[in-house]
Structure 1
Amino acid sequence: MVDGTRQRIDKWLWHARVVRTRSAAAALAAAGRVRVNGARIDAASRPVKVGDVVTVALDSRVRVLTVTGFAERRGSATDAQVLFRDETPAEPDESSPPAASRDRGAGRPTKRDRRTLDRLRGEEE
């Protein structure tokens, strides 16, 4: 149903090249791994319109996409980029160590270390 204002979510995900097949898009929607404007959907027939925010939980990441258009048929990757605006938050830089990391082999934290960590987390007694 492409009337210029709405399209089924499974077709839109397929046209936008978020997934490889339309059946995979329908399976994502049926599994509840797709949200439209924050509401979890459970049917592939749910229509989306321009301006809707679609959140898709893929294998190891979550993509946040804003619908900007529709297509009659699935085109190239450059054609698909016109259909959405990617608003996925940037992943943290992996080169920096985690905030509360300890050297390997340093052993258990001492009571002093634990109190310092508690103060950092705001869990003082």
Structure 2
Amino acid sequence: MKNEKGKGKEEDTRLRIDKWLWAARFFKTRSLSADAIESGKVLCNGVRIKPAKSLAAGDMLSIRIGSVQFIVEVLALSGKRGPAPQAQLLYRETEESVLRRKALAEELKAHPPPAYLKGRPTKRDRRELDKLKGNVW
């Protein structure tokens, strides 16, 4: 028979990574965190992992969400999603990661991406585009 006490201790020090990412508020749902893990956007200690991977305190995670990349050290484990200030106590972001994110934010602020028209242009939009191109009839 298995020792139930040993099992309880192991569960306190380990937690599924998809559940931790959800509890730490990197993703809105566990299924979104699992999809990100499976697509290779989350690395644990520099290695690709599966959503059921057990996470422990002290692990280093690289999390890419869009063009933003977080590099965090796991400080604590929690399977419950709480308020944002409580979730921020679960990890510590590296200085390099913070500086890289700030530089990216400044770059996007200085050079915003072009605003594209959604869908088919209207007659008015088409006329304005023609004027810009110099195709005045």
Question: Post-superposition shift, 1:89?
Answer: 3.9
Are residue 12 (structure 1) and residue 20 (structure 2) matched?
Answer: yes
The equivalent residue for 2:41 is: 33
The equivalent residue for 1:57 is: 64
Between the aligned partners of 1:72 and 1:9, the Cα distance in structure 2 is: 10
- The partner residue of 2:93 within 70, 86, 98 is 86
- Could you tell me which runs of 5 or more consecutive residues in structure 1 were left unpaired when the two chains were aligned: 98-125
Query: Structure 1 residues 72, 39: CA separation in 2 closer, same or farther (over 3 Å shift)?
Result: closer
Between the aligned partners of 1:34 and 1:72, the Cα distance in structure 2 is: 18
Question: Post-superposition shift, 1:60?
Answer: 1.1
The equivalent residue for 2:75 is: 68
The equivalent residue for 1:24 is: 32
Question: Post-superposition shift, 1:72?
Answer: 3.6
SS of alignment partner, residue 32 of structure 1: coil
The one-letter amino acid of 1:79's match is: Q
Q: Tell me the TM-score normalised to structure 1 length.
A: 0.69
Question: Post-superposition shift, 1:39?
Answer: 0.8
The equivalent residue for 1:48 is: 55
Number of equivalenced pairs: 95
Between the aligned partners of 2:36 and 2:90, the Cα distance in structure 1 is: 19
The one-letter amino acid of 1:56's match is: I
CA deviations 1:79-99 (Å, max 9, x no partner) are 1011000112413354xx9xx
Between the aligned partners of 1:59 and 1:27, the Cα distance in structure 2 is: 13
- Could you tell me which runs of 5 or more consecutive residues in structure 2 were left unpaired when the two chains were aligned: 1-7, 111-137
Between the aligned partners of 1:79 and 1:89, the Cα distance in structure 2 is: 19
Q: Work out the percentage of aligned pairs sharing the same amino acid.
A: 35
Higher relative helix content: 2
RMSD between aligned alpha carbons? 2.1
